[in-house]
Amino acid sequence: MASINLIDAFQDFKDAEKLDRPTMMKVVEDVFKTLLRKKYGSDENFDVIVNAEKGDLEIIRRRMIVADEDVMDPLEEVGYSDAIKIEPDFEIGEELYEEVDMLDFGRRAILAAKQTLASRISDLKKNVLIKKYGDRIGEIISAEVYQVWKKEVLLLDEEGNELILPKSEQIAQDYFKKGENARAVIARVDTKNNNPVIILSRTSPLFLAKLLEIEVPEIYDGLIAIKKIVRDPGERAKVAVESYDDRIDPVGACVGMKGSRIHGIVRELKNENIDVINYTTNIQLLIQRSLTPAKISYMKIDEEKKQVDAYLKADQVSLAIGRRGVNIKLACELTGYEIDVFREDEEQTNEFDIDLDEFIDEIEPWIIDEFKRVGCDTARSVLSLTPGELERRTDLEKETIADVIKVLKEEFEREEE
């Protein structure tokens, strides 16, 4: 029968989209009730029966048998003479159940129903996917690398859903091969061309937080809280933790015996250095801890401007600033304060010095900003470091540094004359 052939086609959709049976039955029922309303003006006296086991469908029409002259509404009533043509034993007052042949709808209507069903199933699949991953944002997922492109990596989950790991969400040292498994955190669900796109991230602080939760049972159990995480992915991260149990050392618990717990995370993050520090509401102590591994001699804090001048011994300045200024940048993000570092002896000397901004006519502003970024605000602070040290700390070329040093030295020579 046409109805069976039609539902066989719909069965293909059901199998392909992996929709649950109740949902599929409801969708098919809705589509055919729409078809009935278009043909008869109402679906009140029709039952759409979907057999999920056999994969077929029946439409049953219900009408009350009345005397031929009493038929008022052909949709709800059928004349006695017409009823006994179907079954001679029928009597007036009984209800007639009659199967509707699918061919009665016409080929065009059937095709339209099939297209409508395909569209409804597609929308359902999108909604299911959006809800599934929308509820899992912030969770870690392990998925198979399916395709590696220049700007993104395509992964497949266990159900074959596509997940995207953009280049911007990858650690610089990440390298993926087709077929291997990769871990990332579910960052967000975007929509592109009306289709859901699940975006993963390996650079998000959430990724590190979830890795810590997996490795450190005390975090998972709520005995230790992660107060804040800041990262320069693949380079360095700082994690502020607090214990709700006085018997537990939060830093020791996160690091583990001989670093056993943190080492696995460091490997996953491509050797990213992770500083775990005790959180405190004492801002002076928090700043001291945030500049780990450097040790501050003393500091001046401006609470209103959220600014700190930290003074350190000469051998600690480079540690505080870190490679490419990463350490001090993360310390600023963690504490919410703008931290400037100075050599301890700079505060104690009465030597004549010149602010770098005074050289704006001879040195380009972006170069001055680069020196300031690594804690060199004055001419003597620049000259106190060797060209090699300046080259390591800043992103400036050797020739540029040499030109700046020459300008600064000439200015001091003029002042002495």
Instruction: Look at residue 42 and give its three-state secondary structure.
Output: coil
CATH class, domain 2-131, is alpha beta
Checking if the pLDDT of 9 tops 50, the result is: no
Q: How far is CA 135 from CA 53, 130, 169, 174, 201, in A?
A: 32, 8, 20, 27, 16
The one-letter amino acid at 47: D
Report pLDDT for 3: 47
What torsion do the CA atoms of 338, 340, 344, 347 make, to the nearest 10 degrees? Answer: -90
Asked, colleague to colleague, whether 138-202 and 204-279 share their fold, the answer is no
Beta carbons of 67 and 79 less than 8 angstroms apart: yes
Mean pLDDT across the chain? 83
Render pLDDT for 289-335 as a digit per residue (tens, 0 to 9). 999 888 888 888 888 889 999 988 887 888 888 888 899 999 999 99
Checking if the pLDDT of 54 tops 60, the result is: no
Cα–Cα distance measured from residue 401 to residue 404, given in angstroms and rounded to the nearest whole number: 5
Render pLDDT for 249-288 as a digit per residue (tens, 0 to 9). 999 999 989 889 999 999 999 999 999 999 999 998 999 9
3-state secondary structure 114-130: HHHHHHHHHHHHHHHHH
Domain boundaries, the chain: 2-131, 138-202, 204-279, 349-416
Instruction: Domain 204-279: give its CATH architecture.
Output: 2-Layer Sandwich (3.30)
Cα–Cα distance measured from residue 383 to residue 353, given in angstroms and rounded to the nearest whole number: 11
The two three-digit tokens of residue 75, written as one number: 């949709």
Beta carbons of 405 and 391 less than 8 angstroms apart: no
Question: Domain 138-202: what homologous superfamily?
Answer: Nucleic acid-binding proteins (2.40.50.140)
The two three-digit tokens of residue 69, written as one number: 């002259």
Query: Which among 206, 245, 246 is positioned nearest to 226, based on CA atoms?
Result: 206
pLDDT grade for 16, boundaries at 50, 70 and 90: very low
Give Cβ neighbours of residue 375 (< 8 Å, ≥ 6 apart): 317, 320, 321, 328, 340, 341, 342, 381
Q: How far is CA 200 from CA 167, 193, 246, 322, 344, in A?
A: 10, 19, 37, 29, 45
Report pLDDT for 11: 52
The two three-digit tokens of residue 23, written as one number: 């949902």
